[in-house]
Amino acid sequence: MTNRISIQKFVYLSLLTLVLLTAGCSSSKINVTRTGFLNNYSNLEENEKLKGLYDYSNDYVDMDQYSKLLIAPVQLFLDEDAENKSINAEEATQLADYFYDQLAEELGGRYEIVEDPAEDVMLIRTAITGVKPNKIYLNLHWSTTLLGAGIGGASLEAELVDSLNGEQIVALIDARKGKSYKYHKGLTKWGHTKSVLDLWARMLVESLDKLKDAEIN
């Protein structure tokens, strides 16, 4: 009996070591990109609230002039690296459509969504520039998930501009993995990636709200 317990303990420790080694390899950081997609990167500064995110808000824009929003199709600028090769064309389209819908949902409560540029219309341009899928087998138990093993994410460049003259109103670039404590997000291939896209949609709303609040004050 003692030998059996010892063997079981050895097997368990060996498997745990393998998981931890794999976790270390799979928890690599996602790189922030500057692809040239944005009209301007020079004003970006690290966000005080969310470490690692770089953003910009144009305090000189009169936000009262905008009541409508034009959402451009979400672009995908994915390099041919190992992580990005794990997404096929159908999945890429689904992620782009998902993010578009999140933007429409978050911003649609504040602005009328339209299809054409005009004087009272802001244009939102977004590009997903990198993706990292979940490694589901490393998220089947909370212990490895909490170590950051197998957690997916994405990188993004986004901006809101005047739809006619292209003046930049809000911009951000970021690369981020999902939250390890959101265990259930790791049980599908793109669960954590979608949660990061959700976060960015909210961040864009918060940036616009801050600009409007600043004008009122």
175 contacts 130 by C-beta, under 8 angstroms: yes
Q: What is the mean predicted confidence (pLDDT) over 73-93?
A: 81
Out of 82-96, 104-118, 178-192, which region has the weakest mean confidence (pLDDT)? 178-192
Condensed to tens digits (0 to 9), the pLDDT of residues 23-67 reads 444 344 567 788 999 999 999 999 888 888 899 999 999 999 999
The range of the structural domain enclosing residue 149 comes to: 2-216
Looking at residue 157, which CATH number applies to its domain?
Answer: 3.30.160
Condensed to tens digits (0 to 9), the pLDDT of residues 114-140 reads 999 999 999 999 999 988 876 544 444
pLDDT of residue 74: 96
For 189, how many CA atoms within 13 A lie in the half-sphere containing its CB? 10
CA–CA distance, 148 with 30 (Å, rounded to integer): 13
- pTM of the predicted protein model: 0.77
pLDDT of residue 96: 95
Q: What is the mean predicted confidence (pLDDT) over 63-86?
A: 85
Taking alpha carbons only, the member of 16, 42, 62 closest to residue 214 is 62
Q: Mean pLDDT, the chain, as a whole number?
A: 79
CA triplet 200, 53, 182: central angle to 5 degrees? Answer: 55
Identify the residue with better confidence: 91 or 134: 91
pLDDT of residue 86: 74
CA–CA distance, 91 with 66 (Å, rounded to integer): 34
If one counts the domains in the chain, the total is 1
pLDDT band of residue 179 (cuts 50, 70, 90) is low
Q: How many CB atoms lie within 10 A of CB 215?
A: 12
Per DSSP (E only), the strands in the chain are 45-46, 54-57, 68-71, 75-76, 112-114, 121-132, 153-162, 168-177
Identify the residue with better confidence: 176 or 140: 176
Identify the residue with better confidence: 210 or 121: 121
Res. 189: pLDDT tops 80: no
Q: How many CB atoms lie within 10 A of CB 46?
A: 10
pLDDT of residue 94: 92
pLDDT of residue 29: 58
Tokens, residue 43 = 């004003």
176 contacts 154 by C-beta, under 8 angstroms: yes
Q: What is the mean predicted confidence (pLDDT) over 97-105?
A: 96
Res. 3: pLDDT tops 50: yes
Taking alpha carbons only, the member of 189, 186, 195, 197 closest to residue 149 is 186
